[in-house]
Amino acid sequence: MGWVPQGRRLFPNLTVKENIHLAMLKLGKRNGRDAFDNACSLFPRLAERRDTFAGNLSGGEQQMLAIARALVGEPRVVLFDEPTEGLSPMVIADIMHVVKQIALSGAAVLLAEQNVRVALDIASRHYILDHGEVRFSSTTAELRRRDDIIAEYLGVKAKSAIGLA
């Protein structure tokens, strides 16, 4: 299982390469070069920043590193907690492209996300929680048709506000 925590939880005083290497060691993997190369194939920007301390990366680069670190063990399930929080729309698009690739590779993806557009674009099934309880569950197609649920639980008055019209 891979986990991409909210807030990224990187080691700020370690480089990009060291953060990935540390994740690899934790999992008992021996070939750090492969782990780093795989990370860079998903996020070429990480190769450019390989010797940069994680604390000096932009928010988008930190999120790329957090995702790369979670994928070192080639997990069958990846949990994402608010992966788009605080990121620019362009970086969100890049991150979500990789999340889609992960899902298409056969890994199960569990996405906790408040950005409704992202959630509707990525997920095939949705669970809306309110005070820790599931209040609604459906497919994406069904949720898109439910103005009442969108307004009540997602705080959006009109479908056009989240690009559903």
On whether residue 70 sits in a domain, the answer given is yes
Summarize the confidence of residues 93-113 as an average pLDDT: 89
On whether residue 132 sits in a domain, the answer given is no
Residue 164 has phi, psi (to 5 degrees) of -100, -10
Q: Which helix H or strand E contains 116, and what residues bound it?
A: helix 116-122
On whether residue 104 sits in a domain, the answer given is yes
Measured distance CA(45)–CA(105) in Å, rounded: 22
Q: What is the pTM of this model?
A: 0.81
Q: Which of 70-79, 84-93, 115-124, 129-138 is least confident?
A: 115-124
Q: Which residue range(s) make up the domain with 56?
A: 2-123
For the domain that residue 15 is a member of, what is the CATH number? 3.40.50.300
On whether residue 87 sits in a domain, the answer given is yes
Averaged pLDDT of the chain: 84
Measured distance CA(104)–CA(114) in Å, rounded: 22
On whether residue 145 sits in a domain, the answer given is no
Tokens representing residue 35 in the block = 């782990």
On whether residue 28 sits in a domain, the answer given is yes
On whether residue 95 sits in a domain, the answer given is yes
Tokens representing residue 7 in the block = 């807030």
Measured distance CA(19)–CA(36) in Å, rounded: 10
- The tens digit of pLDDT for each residue in 15-64 reads 998 998 888 776 666 655 676 777 788 888 988 999 999 999 999 999 99
Tokens 């997602």 correspond to 154
Count of structural domains within the chain: 1
Distances in Å between the Cα of 164 and the Cα atoms of 4, 8, 33, 153 are 28, 30, 43, 16
On whether residue 148 sits in a domain, the answer given is no
